[in-house]
Amino acid sequence: MLGGCLFGVALFCVLFPGRPYLHYVQLLLVPAVIWSGAALGECLLAKDKTFISYIAKTVVLFGVTGILITRLLSPMPSVLEQLLTQRTNSLTEVDSVIRLLTKPGERLAIWGWDAQSYVTCNLIQGTREAYSYNCIVPSPLQGYYRQNFLADFRQNRPEVFLDSVGPNAIFYQDRPSAAHEIFPELAALVARDYTLVIDLDYARVYARRDVLISLEVSSGQMQKVLAESRLPNWIDQHLPTENLREQSGQFDQIGARDVLMMRPPGLAEWILQGNERELLMETGYAPRAINQSEGDGTGFAVELTAPDGTRRIIHSFLINPRDVAADRSPQIRRIPLPPYPSGIKLTVTTNPGPGQNNAWDWAYITNIRFLRSPHYTWRQFPGFNRPPDTVSSPLSTFIEDSKLSTLMLHAPSSISYRLAGCEKHLKFSYGIMAGAYQGEQHTNGATFRAEIQHSDGTKSILADQRLQPLTVATDQGRHTLNIELPALKADELLTIEIDPDGSNAFDWTYLTDFSLD
């Protein structure tokens, strides 16, 4: 009777309109176990074929044996498959950063909805609730939940704080209405004791200041762990795939998927809308061409073409399945897009490779996706803890060195930040690439200027540094500015401008190791 009553209540909770979540079915587990246990007891106690014993045996037969048979005939549950995938795959970007900042057994507090980091990083909850749903969603008890969160945060002083609100996040995408800043007391505590380590667009990772000082984590370390990490499953699985059939060229079916063959000179192109931040592209070779000794690989180039015809290659690579074992299977490539003006065209082209031999160059592309966001992302600004809000840099590109990447903000360029008013420190490294003043290529120098535009329209110059590396030896190499910011107000504008000083020929200027906190 108890099992039957509980089962009825649980079934009502599962089927009640407006409760679509599949895991509510777990509410049936406890009453089903009680009911089956009671039925099994009746079977063991029954000495004759009473009506109750028949009912009990029927419940056991269908409630226990039927469930076991169904389980044996069914595929692995998706949650177990997902767990296995997460244990064997590389870490997500968020988890890679958190692991760099913590040791197992330390504490993590999370605002938003991303509780898996507690498990993957072996950390203890810094607050009593794994999610901050009740702190974000308005309700009569919101104040109660917020006070609990704040009290736990103050008492436990977690080493790392994760705000998992932002574009492409799993549930909460709008920071003005859902990020931790909507809770002023928590925002003040975070601003006082924590440093923004990196803004990943869909999440922000903060570390307690004393922890960050003791760890001495460099921008290079951060870039390396991020380069080895992956997008969260939620983002990766929900990026829409571009329709390859809109391209002109030869199509084929490989691995039950549409592929666009890119035999040199192959071409695919897209007009960018302005919010594309990264290109995700799967490349491979037709199976018949993989083991052909005559082939020496296919070169790929990803290029941006501005409306005025200005072109810049932002990424290039070679696929050579004859000599490189990894190239014999499809590879997913993640390519960040440097800041670009509206109306630009992105093209993917192929060439015959280093020997100009196009024999068996049966390369293809498929599964083309763009990671889109209203904001710039960290991959577009490697070495920056916080991407800028606005950018003007029509000739920018990336300089790759091992797993490290530097954004070349070719003069003239400017980046701007809309300030929250609590920022205290600005630090960045800057310079001009050595190739711009060595050999026959000469730059006349450039000026790096940092200034704040106040709410009353006035401006404060924070730094004004002119580099002339061709004539002044001390202007060569990398330079660093470390600035204590004056008292600021919300919505004031911080701008770093790179002035070409007349001619911008060979003005290969760059910024890196950028921190605004």
Tens digit of pLDDT for each residue in 351-370?
A: 998 888 889 999 999 999 99
Give the amino acid at 96: S
pLDDT of residue 479: 96
461 lies in the same domain as 412: yes
CA distances from 477 to 3, 390, 465, 481, 510 (A): 76, 27, 14, 14, 11
pLDDT of residue 129: 92
- Asked if residue 81 belongs to a domain, the reply is no
CA distances from 302 to 275, 336, 368, 488 (A): 18, 10, 13, 41
This prediction's pTM = 0.83
Structure tokens at 461: 């110059």
pLDDT of residue 79: 63
pLDDT of residue 34: 87
pLDDT of residue 400: 83
Tally Cβ neighbours within 10 Å of residue 321: 24
- Asked if residue 83 belongs to a domain, the reply is no
Q: What CATH number is attached to the domain comprising 411? A: 2.60.120.1060
pLDDT of residue 48: 66
Structure tokens at 141: 């008890």
8 lies in the same domain as 30: yes
pLDDT of residue 86: 63
C-alpha of 401 from chain center = 21
149 touches 129 (CB < 8 A):
yes
387 lies in the same domain as 331: no
Q: What is the DSSP letter of 501?
A: S
The last residue of one of the domains, among 74, 99, 127, is 74
pLDDT of residue 12: 87
* Strand-strand pairing, 446-453 and 493-499: antiparallel
Question: How many structural domains compose the chain?
Answer: 4
pLDDT of residue 159: 98
Q: Which residues pair with 497 in a beta bridge?
A: 414, 449
pLDDT of residue 233: 86
Instruction: Give the integer Cα–Cα distance in Å for 153 and 156.
Output: 5
10-residue mean pLDDT profile of the chain (517 residues): values are 86 78 80 82 72 73 71 70 66 95 96 91 95 94 97 97 94 94 96 95 96 91 90 90 93 92 95 94 94 91 91 93 93 94 92 90 96 94 94 91 85 95 94 88 92 92 95 94 93 96 93 94
Task: State which residues form the domain around 101.
Answer: 90-237
CA distances from 39 to 25, 56, 69, 312, 354 (A): 21, 4, 19, 74, 75
pLDDT of residue 85: 65
- Asked if residue 363 belongs to a domain, the reply is yes
- Asked if residue 198 belongs to a domain, the reply is yes
340 touches 275 (CB < 8 A):
no
The last residue of one of the domains, among 326, 350, 372, is 372
CA distances from 186 to 49, 410, 424 (A): 67, 40, 18
258 lies in the same domain as 204: no
237 touches 170 (CB < 8 A):
no
135 lies in the same domain as 262: no
pLDDT of residue 302: 97
pLDDT of residue 57: 73
- Asked if residue 82 belongs to a domain, the reply is no
pLDDT of residue 403: 65
